[in-house]
Amino acid sequence: MKNRYYSFLINIFVIITLSSAQDTWNLVWSDEFDTDGSPDQTKWSYDVGGGGWGNNELQYYTRSRSENARVENGVLVIELLKEPYENRNYTSARLVSKNKGDWLYGRIDVRAKLPTGKGTWPAIWMLPTDWEYGSWPQSGEIDIMEHVGYDPGVIHATVHTAAYNHSIGTQVGQSIRVQEVTDYHVYSVEWYPDRIDAYVDGVNYFTFTNQVNGALNSWEKWPFDKRFHVILNIAFGGTWGGAQGIDSTLTSAQMIIDYVRVYEAGNQSGPIPFIIMQPVNTTVIEGQQAVFSVQAGGYPLLYQWKRNGIDITGANGSQLTLPSVTMDDNGALFTALVSNDSGTILSNPATLTVSPFSGLQFFYTEQAVVIDGTDEDEVWGTTAFNQVARTINGTAASETDLKASFKGVWDMTGLYLLFIVHDDVLQSGAAQTWQDDGVEVYIDADNSKGSTYDDNDFQYRFPWNGMVEETKRTAVDRVEYCFREVRGGYVLEVKIPWSTLGTTPSDRMLMGFDIHVNDADIQGIRDTKIAWNSTEDNTYQTPSVMGTVQLIGFSTQIQKRAVTPVQQSIGCTRKLLLLKRGDYGRIRLWDLSGKLVRGMDTKTKKGNRLYLQKE
């Protein structure tokens, strides 16, 4: 049904064969249309609209409108009507089984009566559910039955792919003439890994194969290794249906469907398996996903993937996905063993090459890190800052007072982070803490980077002058942090224990990671947000947009050495010391928590406590 015009479909004679009697099929999905009323909502949805559908069609497809789609007397009626509706002069229905009936391989039978009349264009067809190879025609189309009213009695079956489609004049299809399309006929396809066969009343009149003259086909020629769904509709006019005009006196036309039945191959095996497409060598960066796939013929098929000749537990599909490869995978050989009751075949090996990770790295340290909101721990003087510089929300004016950088280290107890934030105006107390000034830390502990948060994903929020939050599961047990206000901004120091993240660190371990910094110049209104990795404010929704950090371990740990002065961008030129209580014989200074310190950066007086300024 996709935007086509055929000029060659006249009086085509084909060699036909009967449907193979040796195949056995098991019914897995059907609609017998036994209950009057609206089509079964558990099996059918609607495509709705009237924009021409890429073919200059004249009808508007409606939703749940009995005039256009209904079940009555044991059949489904799809009716085209001439009537003004939503700026169109015709209405119809387009029923889809998407996400309610989706299949990879099998047999589809539809018993139907077709409408006649110049301009009518009924179709029984299939489209990909997930569009994994891209938009039409890259992901494919299977036309089980099409009929145009100006050429009565001629039934067409066609496939469309990136390599074979009408827009470049390479479409592949065939036609057959039937008696009285207004009588019931059974329109079918049998879909295998190596071919697609089309039938009318059990007569095979078109076959599209996944192997031509021994050449292996790519997805551009054969995208039919993904799940598809069924579509039932009547179009009117358009580039094919209206190629010879329309009957303007036609007021209604019906396609009547007795049943839709979907089968999967039974236990009887087909021919000995054969490899259609071998897995290919793959090169990825450490921590990234690696994917291998194999295409085979000879249904029904069983798969077992192997790594260096050893079975991979649970790897029993035509595709093998390694979510996060390590350097241990470099040079590994992957093969697929394909079998059915008739035999077994082993694919050629594919080599995985892994390049070392070269992004953000946090180094192991044995030095003590005190969470006191300063950069005075020796370790911070030996590690480099990373800039938080990607603007997510905000304007040029709102960004002028916000700059941020961070660094990190780790030991066997936890992950340590130091943030220096330049922010002239600090706000807190908003109804939602993300509207306060503060820092957000995102961690995907197993680096799986899924489309939704799971038990290994964490979102920590450290609001200025507030309490830490972990917004996905409140996992804040033993998390340490300390803010310290400085001239022109603040310093934040954080420790997140590995036990809270539910993981054990190791050398070269990779984690999903991101940093966001919020800015509110007016209380309760966040006007700017910047990030280290993400370019959109969606890290809180999906771990897949996080960046990656690697833990570098014991052999490259940070050595004890003299502290290098930290170049801070916040313009802090003086240190302020808090005298909370003192022995004036040998002045001893404590911070607000009672901890003995050498100094505290601040610029505001709190209560009646005394602050001493050290130049």
Q: Which domains are present in the chain?
A: 17-265 (2.60.120.200), 274-355 (2.60.40.10), 360-556 (2.60.40.1190), 574-615 (no CATH)
- How far are the Cα atoms of 100, 115, 142, 161, 229 from residue 135, in angstroms, in the given order? 21, 30, 14, 10, 15
Determine the average pLDDT of the residues in 82-92. 96
Query: How far apart, in whole angstroms, are the C-alpha atoms of residue 35 and residue 76?
Result: 10
Say what percent of the chain tops pLDDT 70: 83
Cβ 615 vs Cβ 574: under 8 Å: yes
What pLDDT does residue 282 have?
Answer: 94
Burial of residue 11 (number of CB atoms within 10 Å: 0-12, 13-18, 19+)? exposed
| Mean pLDDT, the chain, whole residue set | 84
Q: Is the pLDDT of residue 271 over 70?
A: no
Q: Which of 197-206, 452-461, 603-612 has the lowest mean pLDDT?
A: 603-612
247 Cβ neighbours under 8 A, 6+ residues apart: 117, 118, 119, 149
Q: Is the pLDDT of residue 406 over 90?
A: yes
Cβ 107 vs Cβ 262: under 8 Å: yes
Find tokens 């721990």 and name the residue.
Answer: 377
Find tokens 């009887």 and name the residue.
Answer: 268
Residue 581: pLDDT band by 50, 70, 90 thresholds?
Answer: very low
Determine the average pLDDT of the residues in 60-80. 97
Query: DSSP assignment of 430-450, as one string?
Result: -SSGGGSSEEEEEEETT----
More confident residue, 371 or 558: 371
Find tokens 């260096």 and name the residue.
Answer: 308
Query: How far apart, in whole angstroms, are the C-alpha atoms of residue 79 and residue 69?
Result: 6
Among 383, 360, 392, smallest CA distance to 536 is for 392
Residue 166: pLDDT band by 50, 70, 90 thresholds?
Answer: confident
Q: Is the pLDDT of residue 23 over 60?
A: no
Determine the average pLDDT of the residues in 2-31. 53
Q: Rg of the chain over CA atoms, in angstroms?
A: 33
Q: Is the pLDDT of residue 67 over 90?
A: yes
Residue 1: pLDDT band by 50, 70, 90 thresholds?
Answer: low
Say what percent of the chain tops pLDDT 90: 62
Burial of residue 7 (number of CB atoms within 10 Å: 0-12, 13-18, 19+)? exposed
List phi, psi (to 5°) of 133: -95, 0
Going along 506-589, which residue ranges are E strands? 510-519, 528-531, 547-552, 575-579
State whether residue 380 is helix, strand or coil.
helix
DSSP summary character for residue 507 = T
State whether residue 402 is helix, strand or coil.
strand
Q: Which of 455-459, 461-465, 521-525, 567-571 has the lowest mean pLDDT?
A: 567-571
Cβ 338 vs Cβ 194: under 8 Å: no
pLDDT digit string, tens, across residues 8-19: 333 333 333 334
Q: Is the pLDDT of residue 569 over 70?
A: no
What pLDDT does residue 205 have?
Answer: 97
Q: How far is CA 452 from the centre of its chain?
A: 10
| Cis peptide leading into residue 128 (ω within 30°) | no
Cβ 95 vs Cβ 69: under 8 Å: yes
What pLDDT does residue 29 have?
Answer: 96
Determine the average pLDDT of the residues in 144-172. 94
Going along 333-379, which residue ranges are E strands? 333-340, 343-346, 350-355, 360-364
pLDDT digit string, tens, across residues 483-509: 999 888 999 999 999 999 999 999 999
What pLDDT does residue 553 have?
Answer: 86
Residues assigned a catalytic role: 141, 146
Return the top range by mean pLDDT from 205-219, 302-316, 395-409. Answer: 302-316
Q: How many CB atoms lie within 10 A of CB 451?
A: 10
What pLDDT does residue 268 have?
Answer: 55
Q: Is the pLDDT of residue 537 over 60?
A: yes
Determine the average pLDDT of the residues in 266-271. 62
The full length of the chain comes to 615
Q: How many CB atoms lie within 10 A of CB 243?
A: 18
What is the number of H-type helices and E-type strands within the chain? 2, 46
Q: How far is CA 311 from the centre of its chain?
A: 28
What pLDDT does residue 610 have?
Answer: 38
For the chain, the farthest-separated pair of C-alpha atoms sits apart, in whole angstroms, at 113
- How far are the Cα atoms of 101, 157, 338, 414 from residue 343, in angstroms, in the given order? 31, 33, 9, 53
What pLDDT does residue 442 have?
Answer: 96
What pLDDT does residue 603 have?
Answer: 38
Burial pattern 475-496, b for ≥16 Cβ within 10 A else e, equals bbeebbbbbbbbebbbbbbbbb
Give residue 32's identity as a one-letter amino acid code.
E
pLDDT digit string, tens, across residues 445-459: 999 888 889 999 999
602 Cβ neighbours under 8 A, 6+ residues apart: 484, 485, 486, 576, 578, 611
Residue 592: pLDDT band by 50, 70, 90 thresholds?
Answer: very low
What pLDDT does residue 476 have?
Answer: 85
Residue 63: pLDDT band by 50, 70, 90 thresholds?
Answer: very high
Query: How far apart, in whole angstroms, are the C-alpha atoms of residue 88 and residue 125?
Result: 24
More confident residue, 437 or 272: 437
Find tokens 């313009």 and name the residue.
Answer: 571
Determine the average pLDDT of the residues in 535-561. 78
List phi, psi (to 5°) of 256: -110, 125
Burial of residue 564 (number of CB atoms within 10 Å: 0-12, 13-18, 19+)? exposed
Residue 591: pLDDT band by 50, 70, 90 thresholds?
Answer: very low
387 Cβ neighbours under 8 A, 6+ residues apart: 404, 405, 532
Q: Is the pLDDT of residue 585 over 80?
A: no
